[in-house]
Amino acid sequence: MKQTLIALLMVCGSVAFAQQKIGHLNSSEILQALPEYKQMTDAVEKKKGDYSKIMETMYSEYEKKAKEVQEQGDKMTQVILDSKVQEIKDLEKRIGDFEQKAQEDLSKYAQELMKPLNEKYLKGVKEVARENGYAYILDIAAGGVVYYPDSGTDVTPLVKTKIGATLPAPAAPGASAPKK
């Protein structure tokens, strides 16, 4: 009796699993199609440009000091030479510290700006899944899926429409479709 019940549960479980609808999407394509994505990348690039200007100033100062020591070092007293060399070393450290902090800040800034886009994307995916009866939606951009059948359902356009992302222009007649 116990074995029959276990076998019945296994059969019912596999039938229920086989009936679940599975779709796939490309999160990268969806996020990049959002109008807000362009605004976000523009803001990050602007901040990156601001940091680059500061770095250029620091590098210019470094080159100026290094050139001075190189060209006039033999005319300086040892105390002045040591002081100039120490200034250069201090500047090198400041440059390195600034580069590291700028990278960290840019990364945090991009994550902050990306958070509402990710929330919008996830909300759209959940709504599309519920409305269309999907039990699972796999993201091919995340790299976790190495194969999906051509007969699978790509829900990328549905999610794009749901969250107001721009759909790509239709391919010109006679143009070959991109391969998956």
**pLDDT tens-digit readout, 22-78:** 888 999 999 999 999 999 999 999 999 999 999 999 999 999 999 999 999 889 899
> How far is residue 61's CA from residue 3's CA, in Å, rounded to a whole number?
81
122, part of any domain: yes
Domain residue limits at 77: 19-163
Q: How far is CA 137 from CA 6, 21, 25, in A?
A: 30, 9, 7
> How far is residue 22's CA from residue 35's CA, in Å, rounded to a whole number?
28
11, part of any domain: no
Report the pLDDT value the prediction gives residue 21, as an integer from 0 to 100: 86
Q: How far is CA 77 from CA 63, 74, 151, 157, in A?
A: 21, 8, 80, 72
Report the pLDDT value the prediction gives residue 137, as an integer from 0 to 100: 86
**pLDDT tens-digit readout, 113-130:** 999 999 999 999 899 988
Checking if the pLDDT of 105 tops 50, the result is yes
Checking if the pLDDT of 79 tops 80, the result is yes
Q: How far is CA 93 from CA 62, 67, 73, 96, in A?
A: 11, 18, 21, 5
170, part of any domain: no
Residues 6 or more apart whose CB falls under 8 angstroms from that of 21 comprise 132, 133, 134, 135, 153
Q: What is the mean pLDDT of the chain?
A: 83
Report the pLDDT value the prediction gives residue 166, as an integer from 0 to 100: 78
Please indicate whether residue 136 or residue 150 has the higher confidence score (pLDDT).
Answer: 136
Q: What is the DSSP letter of 34?
A: S
Report the pLDDT value the prediction gives residue 145, as an integer from 0 to 100: 57
pLDDT band at residue 135 under the 50/70/90 scheme = confident
171, part of any domain: no
178, part of any domain: no
Please indicate whether residue 2 or residue 5 has the higher confidence score (pLDDT).
Answer: 2
Q: What is the number of domains present in the chain?
A: 1
14, part of any domain: no
Q: What is the pLDDT averaged over residues 150-171?
A: 77
Give which of 117, 154, 150 is closest to 134, Cα–Cα: 154
Give which of 79, 80, 85 is closest to 65, Cα–Cα: 85
173, part of any domain: no
CA dihedral 90, 92, 95, 100 (to 10 degrees): -100
Checking if the pLDDT of 179 tops 50, the result is no
> How far is residue 60's CA from residue 169's CA, in Å, rounded to a whole number?
46
What CATH number does residue 88 fall under? 3.30.910.20
114, part of any domain: yes
